[in-house]
Amino acid sequence: MGDGISIMNPYLEPATWNLTTQFYGKFYSDHRPRTFIFGINPGRHGAGVTGVPFTDPIRLAEKCGIPNEMKRQAELSSQFVYALIDGYGGVDAFYGNFFFTAMSPLGFVRDGKNLNYYDDKELLRASEPYMLDCIRWQLDSMPTFSTCYCLGEGENFKQFSRLNDQHRFFEKIIPLPHPRWVMQYRRKKLSEYVDVYVDKLKDPHH
């Protein structure tokens, strides 16, 4: 693995594990099939704290109804995702149909900043077997569909497509603009991007 990279495993923290257990117990206690949505890897202020993809402590409490003692710090991606969830019809409707996950359930940090699994060639090579195992385990654990979504239309989609070509996890992967990119570079058009997401999630052929 590349020099100066540290691994962030939020699930080793008892408080985070407790929140994660509450979340999945609340929204995924049935056996309905869900459509998978793959992000990149946990960020320091979202899943890296709560254990729930794209969910910071604020959204976990206010939108998901799960109180917590975590520092109330907002994450950009979480802000977009819950605007999307509101646009879709709320947390029950959304999580009843979709399952957020990530290519890597572990986060990575270098020089105090989030690092994507694909930003370092050695990290990508070292992480790939674990990532594949996690995807297989999730697909074995939850009924799903032949189509999934990928957050990020660039490198994340490229790497996911490469792995899917080799292992045939899904028949079709639909890329979407990454929430962080929207919030950083297109925030004034947030509502338009929410509409794009909702349209594509409700109609994969749109």
pLDDT (0 to 100) of residue 46? 83
Taking 70 as the threshold, does the pLDDT of residue 2 lie above it? no
Q: What is the mean pLDDT of the chain?
A: 94
Sheet holding 35-39, edge to edge: 98-102, 35-39, 147-151, 172-176
Where b means 16+ CB within 10 Å and e means fewer, 56-93 reads bbbbbbebbebebebeeeebbbbbbbbbbbebbeebee
Percentage of the chain exceeding pLDDT 70: 98
Which residues, in sequence order, are CB contacts of 178 under 8 Å at separation 6+? Answer: 39, 40, 77, 151, 152, 153, 156
The token pair that represents 197 in the structure block: 């997401």
Q: Cα–Cα distance between 49 and 36 in angstroms, integer?
A: 22
Tens digits of residue pLDDT in 141-176:
999 999 999 999 999 999 999 999 999 999 999 999
- Place 1 in a pLDDT band, splitting at 50, 70 and 90: low
Interhelix angle for 155-167 vs 121-141, to 10°?
60
- DSSP 8-state secondary structure symbol assigned to residue 1: -
Residue 194: CB atoms within 10 A of its CB come to 19
Position of tokens 């960020």? 43
Side chain identity at residue 35, one-letter code? T
Phi, psi at 186, each rounded to 5°: -135, 30
Model confidence, pTM: 0.94
Per DSSP bridges, beta strands 113-115 and 107-110 are antiparallel
Average pLDDT over residues 26-37: 96
Write the pLDDT tens digit of every residue in 92-139: 999 999 999 999 999 999 998 889 999 999 999 999 999 999 999 999
Give the least confident one: 2-6, 70-74, 154-158: 2-6
Residue 188 pLDDT exceeds 60 = yes
In the prediction, which pLDDT does 205 show?
63
Between 30 and 1, the higher pLDDT residue: 30
Residue 177, pLDDT > 70, answer yes
Rounded-to-integer distance, Cα 171 and Cα 193, Å = 25
- Residue 203: pLDDT band by 50, 70, 90 thresholds? confident
